[in-house]
């Protein structure tokens, strides 16, 4: 068998040396690499950028954001309402009616009495109740801020996942084209008696498997697009994505981020609730103070002098063991539980920070290794397999495996890059961004 294996074109049956075919394969492999794809990417109209997706999602009036806003407004209104004096109580009665005759003109003490009572809450209860409601409203505002951060994170995660599946499909289609060209080589060699039926069947199997893989990639892309449409709408989610992985805003060092976790919205929510529990304790202490109300009455008599009266009523907490004491103890326990919840939330945020920062760092090392060594070696292996097949030092199956190995390494690199960007997005969720 000569060192140059020739195959014939379907159009003119002219022989073509396999070195020329190898050059075509190498050129396709270079164009399929992620770096080349990114460098050749040109801006296209109506592409859905990541930053644009986040902006659309935040402007979409998510119901949960409106929910927190309505709760905050309700609590602010209650802060004003609960800090007012109770409504005065008015009374009208006929007083000192003789039961023997029911004659209202018989007895001089019979009169029409008009009265009013105004109660005053104990101590500083009104001001403390107002402060409590405002603290609860602030907690809802921080919940709103937290939800905005969650929407930004979810949008980035879903967009990046869709980006991966679209890029994986593009690279797989390029590999499918190369394998189909290898199938033409195997069929031509088999027709000329220079190959085996096993080579033809093997390539046919790989082409079918790649077609199956493409269906799976389309399925995953469709699922990611549906998830994205929940955040930005169906029309926006249907727009094409760019071919270049976006660059996210930078984040500070892990130490700086750790010191800033106390300003995370989830911690601020608990801080506001701790303030509300402090006001509950103050309100419970007010219950040890006496409450009072002022009464005033005016008695109308027909032909005699009218009567007037005024008085003060007191509410004295004499038996406090099972009422005021228990109420104060309960509010202190609630404050302690809120403080423990704050400590637990800070521990959880620190855990997330450590995990995502470690992910980002190790993925960066992994990506550098792939870009500097693995991708190049996979490409070199494919070229070497082609040369070895040309000199009969390797079989056709090894050539196909080498091409598929290039596909696997390119898909792995894209996956690593997307996962690192996801870790970056998670770190921005912890850090926060200026709007």
Which phi and psi angles does 94 have, rounded to 5°? -90, 125
Q: Are residues 232 and 345 in the same domain?
A: yes
Asked if the structure places residue 53 within a domain, the reply is yes
Dist CA 166 CA 207 (whole Å): 19
**Is the sign of the CA dihedral 45, 50, 53, 54 positive or negative?**
negative
Note the pLDDT tens digit of each residue in 311-369: 999 988 888 888 999 999 999 999 999 999 999 999 999 999 999 999 999 999 999 99
Count how many domains the chain has. 2
Q: Are residues 273 and 369 in the same domain?
A: yes
As a whole-number percent, the residues of the chain with pLDDT over 70 amount to: 84
Going by pLDDT thresholds of 50, 70 and 90, the confidence category of residue 7 is very low
Q: Are residues 411 and 359 in the same domain?
A: yes
Q: Are residues 104 and 200 in the same domain?
A: no
The Cα angle at residue 302 between residues 297 and 307, in degrees rounded to 5: 25
| Structural domain that includes position 195 | 6-85+121-287+323-431
- Over residues 357-382, the mean pLDDT reads 94
Q: Are residues 407 and 370 in the same domain?
A: yes
Q: Are residues 95 and 176 in the same domain?
A: no
Under DSSP, the state recorded for 110 is: -
CATH code of 68's domain: 1.20.1600.10
Asked if the structure places residue 1 within a domain, the reply is no
Q: What does the radius of gyration of the chain's CA atoms come to, in whole angstroms?
A: 39
Asked if the structure places residue 297 within a domain, the reply is yes
Predicted pLDDT of residue 29: 38
- Asked if residues 276 and 134 have their Cβ atoms less than 8 Å apart, the reply is no
CA 300 to chain centre: 70
Question: Quick check: 35 pLDDT over 50?
Answer: no
Going by pLDDT thresholds of 50, 70 and 90, the confidence category of residue 80 is very high
């Amino acid at each position: 068998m000569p060192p140059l294996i020739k195959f014939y074109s379907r159009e003119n049956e002219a022989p073509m040396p396999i070195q020329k075919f190898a050059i075509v394969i190498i050129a396709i492999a270079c164009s399929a690499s992620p770096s080349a794809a990114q460098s050749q990417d040109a801006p296209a109209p109506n592409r859905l950028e990541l930053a644009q997706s986040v902006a659309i999602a935040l402007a979409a009036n998510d119901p949960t954001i409106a929910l927190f806003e309505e709760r905050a407004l309700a609590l602010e209104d209650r802060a004003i309402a609960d800090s007012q004096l109770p409504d005065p109580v008015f009374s009208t009665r006929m007083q000192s009616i003789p039961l023997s005759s029911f004659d209202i003109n018989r007895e001089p003490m019979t009169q029409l009495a008009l009265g009013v009572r105004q109660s005053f809450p104990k101590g500083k209860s009104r001001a403390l109740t107002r402060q409590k409601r405002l603290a609860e409203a602030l907690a809802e505002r921080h919940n709103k801020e937290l939800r905005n951060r969650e929407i930004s994170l979810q949008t980035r995660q879903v967009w990046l996942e869709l980006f991966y599946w679209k890029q994986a499909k593009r690279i797989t289609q390029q590999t499918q084209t190369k394998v189909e060209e290898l199938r033409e080589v195997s069929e031509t060699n088999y027709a000329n008696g220079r190959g085996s039926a096993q080579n033809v069947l093997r390539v046919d199997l790989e082409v079918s498997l790649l077609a199956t893989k493409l269906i799976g990639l389309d399925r995953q892309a469709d699922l990611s697009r549906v998830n994205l449409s929940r955040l930005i709408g169906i029309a926006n989610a249907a727009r094409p994505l760019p071919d270049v992985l976006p660059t996210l805003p930078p984040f500070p060092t892990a130490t700086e981020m750790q010191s800033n976790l106390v300003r995370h919205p989830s911690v601020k929510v608990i801080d506001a609730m701790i303030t509300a529990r402090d006001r509950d304790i103050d309100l419970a202490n007010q219950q040890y103070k006496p409450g009072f109300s002022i009464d005033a009455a005016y008695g109308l008599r027909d032909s005699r002098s009218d009567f007037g009266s005024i008085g003060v009523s007191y509410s004295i907490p004499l038996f406090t063991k099972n009422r005021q004491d228990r109420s104060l103890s309960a509010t202190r326990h609630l404050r302690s539980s809120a403080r423990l919840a704050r400590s637990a939330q800070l521990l959880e945020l620190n855990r997330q920070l450590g995990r995502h920062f470690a992910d980002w760092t190790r993925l960066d090392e992994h990506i550098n290794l792939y870009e500097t060594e693995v991708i190049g070696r996979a490409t070199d292996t494919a070229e070497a397999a082609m040369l070895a097949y040309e000199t009969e030092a390797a079989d056709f199956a090894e050539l196909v495996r080498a091409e598929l190995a290039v596909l696997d390494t390119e898909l792995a690199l894209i996956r690593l890059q997307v996962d690192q960007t996801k870790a970056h997005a998670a770190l921005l969720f912890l850090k926060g961004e200026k709007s």
